[in-house]
Structure 1
Amino acid sequence: MTSSVPSAAIDLGKTRCRLLLTDGDERIRIDGDGAPGLASSQGVDAVVAAIDALLRHVDATLAHLGVGAAGAWVAPEEAGKLAHRLAARTGASVVVASDVVTAHLGALGGEAGTLLIAGTGAAALGVDAGGARLVDGWGPDLGDFGSGSWLGREMLRAVVRADVGLGPETALTRVVTERVGAASVIPSWIARDEPLARRLATLAPSVLDAAESGDVVALGIADEAVRLLTASAAAASSSVAVAVHGGLTDHPWFRAKLGASLMSAGRTVVPAAGDALDGALLLSRRTDLPHERFAHRAE
């Protein structure tokens, strides 16, 4: 690093934690394990431990530290506690916000618009002159409509229904047999003591591949996912610009269908300017953004 005082940004999810250290034009990335969301039991302690594991690799005094943390949207008190603990730990000016907020900031560069996230979960955050609105992000039990976990769940439902004659035959049965087992073992696979949403999401690419190949059942599931994601984006904001993010958008066929659907809804898909780390860094350096209402700061 150069002689100037560097800044850092952290993107903390439930699976991984990423740290970006910046000093002028120099950027260093450090990756580690994630932590349960701030809203979980002992959430602040777990998040501090995950972040501290990365900060141990930083041999410098920080001027600013921006953090996007899973769960901060629904646990603002815990987000405030996290900001103060990190400020005491680092001596930096610290800001903590939801990882959805920092992802929006990074994707749209602090400007108005909607960020549509279509990954393991799903959410749409819209920011415009009228304020900010989060649609979905409610988790797999209540929402995450059109997400990877939703696609995987609908795939398994289609297979168990076909197995007892309540639904049409589908090529998805062969995929599920190879990945999970016979239809009869699906309930026990669901009940395993392992994170279900991530396991379901691993099935999503197979649904999309089968839909692209013309399987009627898979195509129906994919079409409904597109409809649900588009509805979330439209409900989040009246802004035309929509940045799309998440693992599902890595599937070219699905991304094209989603883009066409958003266009039909009067939206324009714009390329992401950056990611959640860029957004956390931006929020750490500016207090004049419309996202400020979701920022928890400590010195």
Structure 2
Amino acid sequence: MSSAPTAVAVDLGKTRCRAMVDAEQRVVRSGIGSPGLATPNGVEDAVASILPLLDQDAAPQLLGVGAAGAWVAPAAALALAAALAASVRARVAVASDVVTAHAGALGGSPGVLLIAGTGAAALGADADGIRLIDGWGPDIGDLGSGSWLGREAARAVQRATAGLGPDTRLSETVAASILPADDVVTWLAEEGSVARRLGSLAPLVLDAAETGDDVAHRIATEGIRLLTATAVAASSLTRDIALHGGLTDHAWFRDSLISSLHAAGRRVVPAAGDALDGALLIARRTDLPHERFVHRAE
């Protein structure tokens, strides 16, 4: 009697890389991520992040990888699959981390995954195919995301300080959060990711909105409207939406977002799994709706 092929799932992000080396016991190892497949040395950096997490003396037969940047760099995704197949001697499937997150959250079934974290995007899969809405970055997109909420909070604080806008509780909470910087302009000019820094202000906005601050409530309400529109635009044929991302950990915001999605005729379903589960699915199956976005090598 033949046993199922051994499989390893990888979730490669820009900050962290995770590998589920034992799916039955859910043994997960973590390491350093890579800048993304779309960068000049994206494939080499990705290989360098993934290989140290694998058992070199007990290589898997199947390797599924969700990698940041694969959506916009399909040639690099295919090159990564080939490089890993040559190194590990396994059948390899590589897809965008958004694709594996969708496959994991919806168990490979049609539906929409709405991601609301520092960034924002929605991936929909239905009989018409796959559609990605937003995920355009903080300069022109990520509408309703944590970085978007933080940017609107920073604007509101600056406007209130200059007498151009109404007073808000955010002035006090943001000032305390950005110490020792004197103001948000100076704080945002510091080194590091501006989007991540703005995203750190999102909980302040949501807490203030929940407790009745008018300015914060208007910001949060607009963020919910934008996220709802993104989710609806991702699919017209399926009503199921799974939620993912740090903003949905805030109970008031999650409840408000769910109410908005319900009002738009959508049904919020619990996530069946995560991106590691999705990477495992794409490695084992070729009949998923995401297949044309999966890059395989052996």
TM range (shorter): over 0.9
Letter in 2 for 1:36: P
Mapping for residues 268-283 of structure 1, pairs under 5 Å = 268-283=267-282
Give the secondary structure class of the aligned counterpart of 1:26: coil
**Preserved contact between residue 160 and residue 183 of structure 1 (Cα < 8 Å):** no
CA distance in 2, matches of 1:39, 1:233: 25
Residue 152 of structure 1 contacts residue 204 of structure 1 at CA under 8 Å; is this kept in 2? Answer: yes
**1:256 paired residue number:** 255
Alignment check: 8 A CA contact 1:107 1:275 kept: yes
Give distance in 2, aligned partners of 1:209 and 1:196.
Answer: 21
Q: Aligned letter for 2:267?
A: T
Letter in 1 for 2:259: A
Q: 1:171 maps to what in 2?
A: 169
Aligned position for 1:128: 126
**CA deviation string 1:149-178 (max 9, x = no partner):** 111111111101111011111000011111
Alignment check: 8 A CA contact 2:62 2:283 kept = yes
| Counterpart AA for 2:109 | E
Match of 1:111 in 2: 109
2:9 alignment counterpart: 9
Secondary structure of the residue that 2:108 maps to in structure 1?
A: coil
Runs of 4+ in 1 over 4 A off after TM superposition: 181-184
Equivalent residue, structure 1, for 2:18: 18
Q: Which residue of 2 aligns with 1:28?
A: 27
Deviation digits for residues 254-296 of structure 1 (CA, Å, limit 9, x no counterpart) = 0000000000000000000000000000000011111001000
**Alignment partner of 1:236 is 2:263:** no
C-alpha displacement of 1:183: 8.8
Question: How far apart, CA to CA, are the structure 2 residues paired with 1:207 and 1:34?
Answer: 29
2 CA distance for matches of 1:13 and 1:114? 21
Matched AA of 1:42:
N
Deviations 1:75-100 (A, max 9, x none): 11111111111111101100100000
TM-score with structure 2 setting the length:
0.95
Which of 71, 74, 80 is the aligned partner of 2:69? 71
Per-residue CA deviation, residues 17-69 of structure 1 (Å, 9 max, x unaligned), is 1100136x3331101121111112311121111112312x5541211000001
Output the CA distance in 2 between the equivalents of 1:8 and 1:192.
Answer: 39
TM-score by length of 1: 0.95
Deviation of 1:190 (Å)? 1.4
| Contact kept? 2:115, 2:243, Cα under 8 Å | yes
What secondary structure sits across from 1:189 in the alignment?
Answer: helix
Task: Look up the match of 2:266.
Answer: 267
Instruction: Find the residue that maps to 1:290 and give its secondary structure.
Output: coil
| AA partner of residue 83 (structure 1) | A
Whether contact under 8 Å (2:210, 2:217) holds in the other structure is yes
Pick from 170, 185, 188 the counterpart of residue 187 of structure 1: 185
Q: Residues 107, 116 of structure 1: CA spacing in aligned structure 2 closer, same or farther, 3 A cutoff?
A: same
What is the distance in 2 between the residues matched to 1:216 and 1:183? Answer: 26
Alpha-carbon deviation of 1:6?
2.1
Within 2, Cα distance between the matches of 1:123 and 1:62? 32
Is the CA contact 1:17–1:31 (under 8 Å) kept in the aligned structure 2? yes
Comparing 220-229 with 194-203, which one deviates more in the overlay? 194-203
| Amino acid of the structure 2 residue aligned with 1:145 | L
Structure-2 separation of matches of 1:75 and 1:268: 32
Secondary structure in 1 matching 2:158:
helix
- Count, aligned residues: 295
SS for the counterpart of 1:60 is coil
